[in-house]
Amino acid sequence: MHQRILATGLLLLAAPAAAAPDPAERTAVLAAVQSLFGAIHSADRAALEDIMLPEANANVMLATEDGWRLQSRSRTGLGDMISKPGPPLREQIYNPTVLIEGPLAVVWAKYSFAVGDKLSHCGIDVFDLVKTNGTWKIGNAMWTIEPDGCA
């Protein structure tokens, strides 16, 4: 058993490091995420639906006093949420990690979220993207909501 674990560890150490994503593809992936944020900020349901796959989901982990609570929404549910009247919503990510392999990409980043001019919460964003017909689309969005997590 120990020999198997050792052999697996040695293979992992010998594996080549993942290559950095192509700068143009990285820029395109991050532009898709920024398009989502722009749609949220302008409460533009059509733009939100355009940047997301029809089957896209949003999974949210909300920090509560009793632990984490999962909330799931479809693309339509997310559109309903952002199109409600109210102050503009602003989201900003910091130092994103972008992984790209062929037509798949993942973006992982810390973020902050403001309602109007007031900071609401922070957390971690994770976006899964798919390149289809030459365009990056969001297939899944996940994030944590941590009201007390802002540095």
Residue 32, H or E segment: helix 23-41
3-state helix, strand, coil in the chain (%, to 5): 30, 50, 20
Measured distance CA(127)–CA(122) in Å, rounded: 16
8 pLDDT above the threshold of 70: no
pLDDT of res. 28? 98
Measured distance CA(109)–CA(50) in Å, rounded: 22
Measured distance CA(120)–CA(91) in Å, rounded: 10
Q: How confident is the model at residue 18 (pLDDT cuts 50, 70, 90)?
A: low
pLDDT of res. 149? 72
Rg (CA), the chain: 18
Q: Which of 145, 151, 148, 141 is nearest to 56 (CA)?
A: 141
* AA letter at 18: A
pLDDT tens per residue, range 85-136:
999 999 999 999 999 999 999 999 999 999 999 999 999 999 999 999 999 9
Q: Which CATH class is domain 21-145?
A: alpha beta
Beta strand pairing call for 118-132 and 67-74: unpaired
Q: Which of 63, 145, 65, 69 is nearest to 110 (CA)?
A: 145
> What's the half-sphere exposure (Cβ side, CA atoms, 13 Å) at 34?
8
- Decide which of 16 and 48 is more confident: 48
**What's the pTM value of the predicted model, to 2 decimals?**
0.84
Domain borders along the chain are: 21-145
pLDDT of res. 21? 77
Torsions phi, psi for 34 (to 5 deg): -65, -30
4 pLDDT above the threshold of 50: no
pLDDT tens per residue, range 27-44:
999 999 999 999 999 999
